[in-house]
Amino acid sequence: MKKSIILFLICSCISLQVFSQQQFKALLFTKTAGYHHESINEGVTAVKALAERHNFGVEWHEDAKKFNNKFLAQFDVIIFLNTTEDILNDEQQNAFKAFIQSGKGFVGIHSASDTEYDWQWYTKLVGRMFHIHPAQQTAMLEVTDSNFPGMEIFPKRFMWTDEWYEFKKEEYSKNLKVLLTIDENTYNPNAQWGEKIGKGMGYHPISWYQDYDNGRSFYTALGHIPLIYSDPWFLHHIYGGIYWAATGKGIKK
C-alpha cells in the first residue's frame, strides 16, 4: 500500500513538472537613470499578461546588481522596457555581453535606444540611438517585412499615434533588418530642444531585428503612451519580438 502511494506521488510530481514547463524565461528590466516613462507600469503589466497568455516565465527587476553571470544564466531573453541613460556598470555590462554571446536574446522597447550611449557594444546591439522627438501625434506606418513573428497581422499601411523617435545619423549596426517605417509626410517631424534640432530622417525605420554577436536583438520604437500597452496589435508586435529573441524561431526560411 505504501509503495503504491509513493509511486502515485512520484508520478504526480513528474506530471506537474511536465505540465508546468514554460517555453522560455525572460528578464524584464526597467531601470532608469534619466527620464522615467509614465508607461512603465502599464508595460510591466502587459508583459506579465503576455507571459501568462503565451506560457513563458518572466521576472521584473530594476536592480542592476542582478546583471551577473550566475543570475542571468536562468534566462533566455532580456527585455529593456523604457530604460534610460547609464544603468549598468562595467562588471554588469560584461555579464550582459556574455549573456548575448552565449546565444541568447535582447528586446528593446521605446527608450531602450535612449540608454547607454557611451557603450559601443550596446549601441550596436540596439542598432540606432535616439536623437530627438516632436510632439506626440498620429502618423502612417508601413510594413517592410511581414516574415517575422508578430508582423503577420498588420496591413501594409496603417495609422498609429505615438511619440516618434528621430534617431542619430549614425547607423551603429549594418545588419539591421527593418520591419516598420514611418511615412514622414503624414506627421510633423520638426522639433527643437535648445541647440538640438530634428527635421526628420527621410527614410525612417521604427522597428527592426538582427543577429548580433552570436545572439539576437529586436527593437521597436513604439511604446511611449501608456494605453498602447493594452492595444492587441502592439502586444502581438512585442510578443513576436520576445518569442524570436528568446528562441530564434518564427521566421519562414
- How far apart are alpha carbons 27 and 165 in whole angstroms? 25
Question: Taking 80 as the threshold, does the pLDDT of residue 2 lie above it?
Answer: no
Which pLDDT score, from 0 to 100, does residue 81 have?
98
User: How does pLDDT run across 27-53, given as a tens digit for each residue?
Assistant: 999 999 999 999 999 999 999 999 999
- How far apart are alpha carbons 20 and 22 in whole angstroms? 6
Average pLDDT, the chain: 93
Look up residue 65 and give its three cell numbers: 546588481
Tell me how far CA of residue 175 lies from CA of 99, 165, 171, 209, 212, in angstroms: 20, 20, 10, 8, 8
User: How does pLDDT run across 68-85, given as a tens digit for each residue?
Assistant: 999 999 999 999 999 999
Question: Taking 80 as the threshold, does the pLDDT of residue 165 lie above it?
Answer: yes
Q: What is the number of other CB atoms lying within 10 angstroms of the CB of residue 244?
A: 22
Which pLDDT score, from 0 to 100, does residue 32 have?
98
What is the side-by-side order of every strand in the sheet holding 77-81? Answer: 57-61, 25-29, 77-81, 105-109, 215-220, 205-212, 177-183, 137-143, 157-162
Question: Taking 80 as the threshold, does the pLDDT of residue 6 lie above it?
Answer: no
Kind and range of the H or E element at 47? Answer: helix 40-54
Question: Taking 80 as the threshold, does the pLDDT of residue 61 lie above it?
Answer: yes
Which pTM value belongs to this model?
0.92
User: How does pLDDT run across 187-244, given as a tens digit for each residue?
Assistant: 999 999 999 999 999 999 999 999 999 999 999 999 999 999 999 999 999 999 999 9
- How far apart are alpha carbons 123 and 213 in whole angstroms? 13
- How far apart are alpha carbons 130 and 122 in whole angstroms? 13
Question: Taking 60 as the threshold, does the pLDDT of residue 16 lie above it?
Answer: no
Question: Taking 90 as the threshold, does the pLDDT of residue 126 lie above it?
Answer: yes
